[in-house]
Amino acid sequence: MSMDASQEATAGVIAEKKTGLAAIARQIAGCTDCGLCRGRNRTVPGEGNPDARIMFIGEGPGFYEDQQGRPFVGAAGKFLDELLAGIGLDRKKVFIGNVVKCRPPNNRDPQPDEIEACGKYLDAQLATIAPKVIVTLGRFSMQRYFPGESVSRIHGTPRRKGEMIVVPMYHPAAALHQGSLRRVIEADFARLPGFLEKVLEGETPVVDRAEVPPHLKKGTAATTPAETAPATTDATPAAAESQQMRLL
């Protein structure tokens, strides 16, 4: 196949994926399969590169996301943008979504029936995009792949789940709860390009369960239970989002 023909074929695949994601977004916009539909302003299907090699999955929309219909646009989203820039990526190169596509009231945790109702949309997005690496942000997206695990125990550690490489990570909002986690999250993100490179080369960058990565060893900041971090009091919507969403 000539270069021009190869490029044309690639462009056709990307266009097909874009069309598929748009169709999924329309389905989400009209969804009434759980109670979250009654309180939403806008659905938040996700956004980014339809042919992304890395897909990030968070918990659910917050105040600003519900207003704009875009994922991660509040305080946590700004930190996510910084993290991506730090490894040479941006929203145009990755895909960002959530396990639920409508904002839970007062940013409470999504309920099991809500996660289940939205599961088909996330599955459809994953099937359409076919990313090489999935990064889960926070405990709800992590538990989709590793039920019963703790983010504080396995964060930053790539694991194989079926045909996928999944890297559990703290949600960016965790750094807003507990400042010491900022450098832990930054360190985990810094390792992503290496994981992706290995995957693209046909390797499986999965840490053996018997191996304890340095950032998980006793005494490091990563082992500090973020769940116990005190939240500060602030009446702004962005602060309320970081306080109320228990994403660790």
* Distance (Å, whole) CA 124 – CA 131: 12
> So what's the pLDDT on residue 3?
59
Q: What is the CATH number of domain 35-244?
A: 3.40.470.10
**Residue (of 169, 170, 158) closest to 132 by Cα position:** 158
- Overall residue count recorded for the chain in this entry: 248
Please give the structure tokens belonging to residue 73: 């646009």
Q: What is the pLDDT of residues 38-89, one digit of tens each?
A: 999 999 999 999 999 999 999 999 999 999 999 999 999 999 999 999 999 9
* Distance (Å, whole) CA 103 – CA 56: 18
Q: Is the pLDDT of residue 243 over 50?
A: no
Q: What is the pLDDT of residues 144-160, one digit of tens each?
A: 999 999 999 999 999 99
Q: What is the pLDDT of residues 189-240, one digit of tens each?
A: 999 999 999 988 888 787 644 343 444 444 444 333 333 233 332 334 443 4
The residues facing 165 across adjacent strands are 133, 160
* Distance (Å, whole) CA 45 – CA 60: 10
CB distance 110 to 60 below 8 Å: yes
In the chain the beta strands, taken as DSSP E runs, fall at: 47-48, 54-58, 95-98, 133-137, 159-161, 164-169
* Distance (Å, whole) CA 110 – CA 217: 31
pLDDT, greater one: 245 or 20? 20
* Distance (Å, whole) CA 45 – CA 70: 7
> So what's the pLDDT on residue 207?
60
> So what's the pLDDT on residue 109?
95
